Each structure stands twice: as structure tokens, then as C-alpha cells.
Structure 1
Amino acid sequence: MTVPPDAREHTVGADDGTELRGLLWTSDDPRALVVIRTPYDASRHESIGRAWASRGYECLVQDVRGRYRSDGAWLPYRHESADGRAALDAVTRIRPGLPVVVYGASYAAHTALEAARASRAPVAAVIVAVPVLGPAETTVDANGVRQIRHRIGWWHEHGHTRTAQGPLSDVELDARTAVAATDVSAAADAWGWPEPTRRAWRELWAAAPVDVSRRFADVRAPLLVLSGAYDFFDHDARRLAREWTGPSHFAVGPWGHRIGSGSGAVIDPWLTAHGLPGTPDRWTSILCPEHPTTSTFDAAADEWRHERTVP
């Protein structure tokens, strides 16, 4: 958990007094702020922090509660609304009056969405990649098939310890999956997880899917969703863009959970189109607040195609 030379440590007090820590990348002439909240170690986001700072943003990358630098107990999905609100309050105190963007990929996309929903003041924009909408969306695929093996693997590595653990062997993962196939809720009782984690595991399998239009009804900020056509969460990413209350733009390419290179070719013009620091491009003229719009990366032509279409 080293501090990169161009960042400084930053601490936020949550509503209950828990100290949430992260790293702040500053800009010589900041024109906006961006907040990223992650369970995967803020110091591993060095290149992202620098990229945002180069655009003219002050960038806070914060470890979520109970992970890496941050105090408190780590319970996935439990505190992201209130803690996200506290993070946004803190950055606006640093630079009052500057627009705030929330950004994140995978679980960090969940934290970004929850922060936008809970914010005391409207955020300027929401950018999410391969988004996890909520716990229920991680448990089944687009066809409703339960993803027991994948969930066991993630919760073993990331779900109940301050830092990431090494992955289970294929043999052990197969054995645990076989046991969980009989009773997935009770299976974790034999895996040595602490009781709060076992309780969170049981709640995971009972969780209801996120109703996008209801949960984010009061968030009118423009939304940019980046997805991969072969990503597990692609169908949820499309649903998010389609059902978002405010303006939304959906960008997809032929990749999986790791977004392919060139996403900046969409992010920067999109930011500019919404009055935020970025790089303009002619294609942003297709953006329309009345309905979702779409960008698709054509790998054969090595170019993005932009359309006024619903994803």
C-alpha cells in the first residue's frame, strides 16, 4: 500500500466516524473533480489517477470501508451509499464550486452509482464500466443461471478480508461448488468465514435485482456506460443505459470484463459534450437527451461507430 510519488494520502470521516482513506491526485489548474471508490487497492489505480489529473481533474481514489487503507468492517454492498456521500462531501469542500464526476468499473461502478444516488448535491456526470448494479446481479447470468462457482471464488478472494487473498485451487473450488449446489446459502458455514461474512453471503442469494428506473429516479446526471459484448454484466450494462432517467450513452466493444484500449476516444468527447474537461470530437453531435445513444467499436475497421440508437 505504497503512496505513488505524484499522489498524497487523503482521509474522509464517514457519517459514523469511520475513517475512509485513499489517494488524491491533484491538477495544477483543476476544472473538475472525479471520485473513484474501490475494494481493489487505491494504489493500484495510479495510471487512472494520473490520466484524470492530465485532463484537468482532481482525482480521489478511495479504498472502500474495511479494505486496504480504510477503517471499519468490510461487508460488500453494505455501506456504499452513505460512504460515497461522505466522499463527495469531502471533495467538494476541497474545491467548492467545481463539478464532480463519479467513475468506476465493476464493483467500483456500483460504488459510483450509489454515491450519485446518495449525494447531497447533484453530480455532474456518472461514468461506469462493466457495471455491477447490485448483489443480485452477480449471482445469475443473463439467462437466469446461478453463478455459484464464480461467486465462491470472488468472495474467497475479496469478500471477507482487508486485502485480497490468493485464489482457491480448481480442485477446492470444484469441491465447494458441489457442496453449494445443494444449499448455497448454508454452504459457507463450513469455509471458515466470520459470521458477518456468512450472513452477507446468505443475503446475497436472497437479494432482489435492482430496479434501475426506481433506484436512480432522482439522478438526472448524464450517464456513460462502457461495456464488453462478452462481459458477464453486459446485459445489466444495457439495462442501466436504457432505463436511466437522465441522458445516457452506451459504448460497447468486442471484449470481456477488461475494457479494450481506446475507451478514451469515447470518454473525452462525451465529457466535453456535457461541459466538462475533455477533448471534443464531431461525433458528439449525435448525443440526444431524449433517448439513449450508442457507440460500437468495430474491431475489423479499428474504429468507433456512433449512432442515435437504443442499446
Structure 2
Amino acid sequence: MTSFRATVGGLAADVRLPDGAGPFPAVLIRTPYDRARHLAEARGWARRGFTAVVQDVRGRFASSGEWRPYENEAADGAATARWIRRQPWSDGRYVAVGASYAAHCALVLALEAPGAAEARPDAVIAAVPALGAAETAREPSGVERLLARAGWWAAHGDRPDSDEGALEKALAADPGLLTQLPLTGLPGRLGRSLPSWAGLWRHRERGRLASRAARADVPLLAVGGHHDHFTEDTVALWRTWGGPSARLLLGPWGHGLVSAPGLDAGPAHRVNLGELYARWARRALTGDLAPGRHGALALGGGDLWLPAGTEGEPRPQPLRLLRGSGFTADPDRPVRSDDLTVPTSGLPDRCVLVTPPLPRPLDAVGPVRIRLRAAADTPSADWAARLVALTPEGTAERLAVGLLRREEPADRHAEFGVELGRLTRRLRAGTRLRLEIAGHHFPAHARNPHTGDDPITAGRLLASRREVDPTSVTLTLHVLPSRPTSTDPAKEILR
């Protein structure tokens, strides 16, 4: 294999060629996380007959210019794509590949690149895709994803390099860091300049790339994890993709995919993603993929795979109230996202309901929803619903979380629903499900100040008194009616 460095419009790239005379198809990976970290990945692509081009995005590491997340990737990627197609080692075809922010870079090439056909990739692999600033910063309901964004901006924002552990180090020195008021002042408390931090929260329009995906005309492989915060975006991308074929692979993994398996992962869920990507890319470039949407979902706790699109039948689960039909959501003492302990004494800070032990195993595959009738004594209120599995051994494990922001006259009782995302999980016999309904989910999400002010700029917090009618609360899981048989994820992806 031969490797060399190239510069395209001031953007630094490493190029690794396969052995042989060529020309070859190419893989383009554009990343803000240092192209040097992709050395092993580039070698793997080259071993499989692809030229690997790994580029630092504008303003990061060895690339010149100003780093402005999500602003320049379509134009810069298009310029690099045109450069690739002019090279003597290129056979004119390339696959845009990336994970997280790099998946955004790949997707905008397919959906927004200037120059259309000349710049557009012939196929796209998007893993745990960060679709845009608004999608990464907020839940669909508008609730702010504080911890993840603070961590990302502390590590990567407004700088040419990265400090991966910046937020962890800052929290160790200042445990109350994320309680800063207003949150726009967080950079000062971190001790460094982050001029783009405040502007991040002005991005509210979601769905731009997802809507354009309906007009896509190249094959897609979307890869995600059940425990990733972008799972819903990954599934939506696959469902709306308009290209000749779309494939979905969802495993019991976190944002790091196979390097971050969940507690529910089994031996069957160990997938060689590099080999699968290369085989899919080869078939995509030669037109050998069957049309339509296919793929595989891992059944966590079941050590098997299901065809993508599998969904159970809606089944309400019986609930009884443990405590807290009336509770206080106090932003000075918020329910914490990183603690599954539920207080059993003192004034309730959440409504807690529980199911009886499951009489037999239950395969929950599909969306999780709750409905309830409730009221808040403040004009703005967030409703956080967290579903937890209580195992027969007595441990607690988070299953799903959903947040809804409501603006309503104080003390008005209303019926509404909260979406908790999708669950693909086998729950063992004897497991009980605990449903917590609270006013905060901090620090994963910013605290609603309950004043009607923007949580990012608010400087004053109010406690909010809540009332929940426990007889109105319904928890609906989608349950498979019979035990499924396993499918081969590679066959589903490659057919």
C-alpha cells in the first residue's frame, strides 16, 4: 500500500492507495476529530481495494480556515469529491463514509453538495449520524441536551484541536459547573473562550437533512445503537431515504457502536463492522443491492437479530402508584439523569409507578409511549418520563427516556402523551418496570426554570408543583406475540 498527504483548498488529507495498478474506487472520510485517528480504518479500506481519503475539516488540526460546525461541510466536501474524481488512481466512483459528525459530512455530500452529480457520492455509510446542530442540541420537543453538548463544545468547540476529557476535568474541579446561571455563561466558568456556545442554542429548526433524504438517489447504509442518543435520527433517516436501496443496522451499542456494547449485548451482537462496510460498499457500487429498505435490529438481552422494520403489537402494561401523585419539581434539587436511586422518604420529587413482575419473558420491539392527565402550577413545565427495569436480582437498569415541554396556563389539568423512543429488548420473567414522571432529567438535559424564560439564558429558577392522576397513566410497549427466530445481519444488509 502507498500513502501520501494531499491538500485540497487548504484542507489536509491523508490518502492510502491499495496495492496494484488501479484505478480504484475511493472512500472519503471527513472528520473534525483528527484524520490521524483513522489510520487503521484507512488501512482496512485499502486492503479491501478502496483508496481511502481521510480529511480534517476546515479549521481543525492540519486544515486551514475557521472552524464553524455544520456550516462549510457541503461546499468543502464537494470540492474534495471533485478533486478525487480527477486523480489518476480514481475510477470515478466514491463512497462517503463517517460516524457522528463525520456522518453529517457524508450526508450533506449526498443531499446538499453544490455541483450535484459531479460532487455527489455513489453511496453513503452514515453511522450514529449527527444530522445537524438543532438535532444534536435538542430533543424533538425542544428540551436542551445539556451534558452531551457541553461535553462536545468543551472538547472541540472554537479550537483547532481537541481536549477529549475537558468537561470531566472541569467537573472534577467544579462539581456544580452545569448549574451555572445563565448557561450562556458556562464558557467563563470553564475558563476558556467559546464564542459559538451561545449561538448553538439559536438553532431550533430540525429535520432539514431528513426531509431532503426523501430525494436521495444513491444507496444508504445507516448504522446505530439502541443506547445512542441519535437512535431516532438514524431510524428516521433510513425510513425516509429515497435512494434505490436503504439498509439499517441497529445493535445493542452506544455512540461508539461495537466498542461501546450495552449490558444487553450478547455474543451474536459482535459484528465486524469494517468487513461489513466494505462488502456493502462493493455491492452498492456495482448495483448488486436489492431495491427497498432492509436491515437488522439486535434484540438486546436475547442474543439474536430481527429484520429491520419488525415491530410488536401495542400492549398496555398494568401500573400501580408507589408514591408522588403530587410532587415538586425543584430545579435546585432536580431529578438526576445519572442516578437511578429513587428516594423513599421526604417530599416526593417525582411520581413513581411500577408494574407487577413479568410472568414470562417479554420481547419489547417498537416505540414506548405513556399517556397521563396532569397539571403544573407554572406556565412552563418539562415532563420527563423514565422507564427502568428492576431485575429479579434487584438491580435497576435504564430502558428508555422521553421529555416533553409544555406551555399552559397554571393548574390546568390536561391529558397528553410522552414518547420514550424505541425499545428492542427481551425482558426476563420476574422483571418489574418502574415508570418515573418528573420535571427534570439533569444534567443530561437543561433545567426548565418554570418562569417561561429560555432555559439557556434564564437567571432565575422557580419550583413547580405537579399533580398526576395515577389512574390516567398508561404505559404502552410494543410486544412480539411469539418468540422470534434470529436472522443473519450480514445477509439482511448485503441482499
Q: TM-score range by the shorter chain?
A: 0.7 to 0.9
How much has 1:266 moved relative to structure 2? 3.7
2:228 pairs, out of 222, 228, 231, with 231
Counterpart in 1 of 2:113? 118
Matched ranges for 1:137-156 at <5 A: 137-141=135-139, 145-156=143-154
Matched ranges for 1:184-223 at <5 A: 184-185=183-184, 187-188=186-187, 191=190, 193-194=192-193, 197-198=194-195, 200-207=196-203, 208-223=205-220
Counterpart in 1 of 2:247? 249
Counterpart in 1 of 2:17? 26
Q: Is the 8 A contact 1:149 1:173 kept in 2?
A: no
Using structure 2 for the length normalisation, give the TM-score: 0.53
2:57 pairs, out of 61, 64, 81, with 64
Counterpart in 1 of 2:162? 164
Q: CA RMSD in A?
A: 2.8
Q: Per-residue CA shift, 1:234-276, capped at 9, x if unaligned?
A: 1111111111121211101111011214224542442243244
The SS at the match of 1:110 is helix
Q: Which moved more, 1:217-226 or 1:168-177?
A: 168-177
Counterpart in 2 of 1:53? 46
How much has 1:177 moved relative to structure 2? 1.5
The SS at the match of 2:257 is coil
Give the whole-Å Cα distance in 2 for the aligned partners of 1:115 and 1:10.
20
How much has 1:148 moved relative to structure 2? 1.2
The SS at the match of 1:274 is helix
Q: Which has the higher strand share?
A: 2
Q: Is the 8 A contact 2:96 2:124 kept in 1?
A: yes
Q: Per-residue CA shift, 1:100-157, capped at 9, x if unaligned?
A: 1100001100111112230522321000111100011111346754221221121111
Q: Is the 8 A contact 1:20 1:71 kept in 2?
A: yes
The SS at the match of 1:118 is coil
The SS at the match of 1:161 is coil
Change (3 A) 1:225 1:81: same
Give the whole-Å Cα distance in 1 for the aligned partners of 2:53 and 2:215.
24
Give the whole-Å Cα distance in 2 for the aligned partners of 1:86 and 1:173.
44
How much has 1:218 moved relative to structure 2? 4.3
Counterpart in 1 of 2:322? none
Q: Is the 8 A contact 2:109 2:121 kept in 1?
A: no
The SS at the match of 1:114 is helix
The SS at the match of 1:132 is coil
Matched ranges for 1:51-130 at <5 A: 51-94=44-87, 95=89, 97-116=91-110, 117-118=112-113, 120=115, 121=118, 122-130=120-128
Identity over the aligned pairs, expressed in percent? 34
Change (3 A) 1:136 1:89: same
Using structure 1 for the length normalisation, give the TM-score: 0.82
Q: Is the 8 A contact 1:152 1:173 kept in 2?
A: no
Structure 1 spans left out of the alignment, 5+ residues = 14-18
Q: Is the 8 A contact 1:141 1:232 kept in 2?
A: no
Indicate whether 1:7 and 2:10 are aligned.
Answer: no
Q: Is the 8 A contact 2:215 2:241 kept in 1?
A: no
Change (3 A) 1:67 1:130: same
Q: Is the 8 A contact 2:184 2:197 kept in 1?
A: yes
Change (3 A) 1:25 1:232: same
Give the whole-Å Cα distance in 2 for the aligned partners of 1:173 and 1:143.
30
How much has 1:96 moved relative to structure 2? 5.2
Counterpart in 1 of 2:283? 273
How much has 1:185 moved relative to structure 2? 4.0
How much has 1:32 moved relative to structure 2? 0.7
Change (3 A) 1:56 1:241: same
Give the whole-Å Cα distance in 1 for the aligned partners of 2:173 and 2:238.
38
Give the whole-Å Cα distance in 2 for the aligned partners of 1:184 and 1:245.
39
Change (3 A) 1:271 1:31: same
Give the whole-Å Cα distance in 1 for the aligned partners of 2:142 and 2:275.
34
The SS at the match of 2:51 is strand
Q: Is the 8 A contact 1:12 1:90 kept in 2?
A: yes
Change (3 A) 1:213 1:78: closer
Change (3 A) 1:309 1:88: farther
- Letter of the 1:201 partner, please give it: W
How much has 1:232 moved relative to structure 2? 0.9
Larger radius of gyration: 2
